[in-house]
A = this chain, B = another copy of it.
Amino acid sequence: MNEVHATINVNEIQKLVDWLAVFGATTEGGVTRLLYSKEWVQAQQSLKKKMIDCGMQVYFDSVGNLFGRIEGSQEKDSVILTGSHIDTVVQGGKYDGAYGILASLLAVKRLVESNGQPKKTIEVVSLCEEEGSRFPLTYWGSKNMMGDYSLKTVEETTDKEGVSFIQAMEDAGFPISAYSSKKRSDIKHFLEIHIEQGAVLENNQLDIGLVSHIVGQKRFTISLNGQSNHAGTTPMTERKDAMVCAANAISKLTALAKTTSSSLRVTTGQIVVKPNVPNVIAGNVQFTLDIRHHESEVLEDYCHKAMQLVRTLAEKSGIQLSVEKWTDITPVGLDTALHELMRDKISSKGLKYTTMVSGAGHDAQVFGQHLPTTLLFVPSKNGISHSPLEYTSPEHLENGVLVLMDYLYRLAY
């Protein structure tokens, strides 16, 4: 058997997305489905039933990752894992994470219907957590599977309401007495499909993104301590104006980013000013710096130059500088060889693709550090995500399912 034969229904995936979006639906048309919440439990339990209906063996692991398994005929201990995460940000959209689970479910269902039992085992996974929106930790689902987390990490973690992580986990049905973060060694490949969360595919009228790398990320908070003073009585030459220093820094850091590499992305999204009053010179400014690139060298080099630049500016203005680095994620390379093998297959469907870098983090990033991993994108309308306005057309959703089927077929049949 060399080909995928399945009866396709374009609306099938859209219906599944709409169905799952009910769990945690907000009045604004978005979805809020936080880790271990009531809505989260309902979503996972309903997905479990759906997997059973698709003829899968189902099980939860000790932290609440849900698996739907189709055992392989020849290599049952070699697992091809496909899926994404079930949690959302607060007031998120219907597609981020959810689409990857449902596309996997549908692809596997169709493959089994049309082509029977795979040679290798396929598992569809609904990962319990990726966003870090309820508790301040991300990738709880995938990192547990890879042995990258332990209970120690979450021992003192609480949400904004003061509910402890461990209490929330137990309330959702996952007692810590059963906890394990033993690395799963049976997984031979992880395959994730996700919305792009950017506008590259849409702007270039493309259907599929073949992701080669997930960017590394460094995030800093730059604190500038100058001197608050009267806006009318302090000559320009005698000021230690933290706002002007911050403005000069952001301006120059952006210019430096643009000349360093076209793939480099540098963002100041947050600024906090004190006292933040129109007629008082700002004594204290804190701003963030989010820096992303898929090559460690470029990332390191830019950060080095950036810190030098900020230091020089602060010194010149008599301003005290302190820098805190609070995120440091290394870039991850994905399985591009598999993409190469699939290019003709994608084209033969009349679909247009491009190789691209993911500027956002994904569970594929966690698995990609341990085993061959593939990440595919479908377009996001206007590049919007983490918003009720998040949207991907039913056609693009279905194209993604079709391509995913081909990838799974090659990996497991």
Contact = CB atoms under 8 A, between A and B. Distances in A.
Nearest to A359: B232
A309 interface: no
B276 A231 contact: no
A268 B292 contact: no
A271 B269 contact: no
A122 interface: no
A277 interface: yes
Interface stretch (A23-31, A57-65, A234-242, A397-405): A234-242
A360 to B, nearest CB: 4
B197 A233 contact: yes
Contact of A233 (B219, B236, B273, B360): B360
Interface stretch (A40-48, A165-173, A246-254, A335-343): A246-254
A206 to B, nearest CB: 14
A265 B231 contact: yes
Contact of A247 (B203, B232, B246, B269): B246
A96 to B, nearest CB: 11
Contacts of A232: 197-198, 215, 217, 265, 290, 292, 358-361
Central interface residue in A254, A263, A279, A288, by most chain B CB within 10 Å? A279
A80 B357 CA distance: 77
A308 interface: no
Given A198-B230, A215-B232, A268 B247 contact: yes
Contacts of A200: 233, 235
A288 B278 CA distance: 6
Given A230-B383, A244-B254, A247-B254, A267 B279 contact: yes
Interface in A272-320: 273, 275-282, 288, 290, 292
A267 B262 CA distance: 34
A411 interface: no
A268 B288 contact: no
A270 interface: yes
A258 interface: yes
Interface string A205-242: 00000000001010100000000011111111110010
Interface in A100-143: none
A359 B230 CA distance: 9
A231 B217 CA distance: 11
A87 interface: no
Nearest to A387: B228
Given A254-B244, A292-B231, A236 B266 contact: yes
A363 interface: no
A273 B270 contact: yes
Interface of A: 196-200, 203, 215, 217, 219, 229-238, 241, 243-244, 246-251, 254, 257-258, 262-271, 273, 275-282, 288, 290, 292, 358-361, 383-386
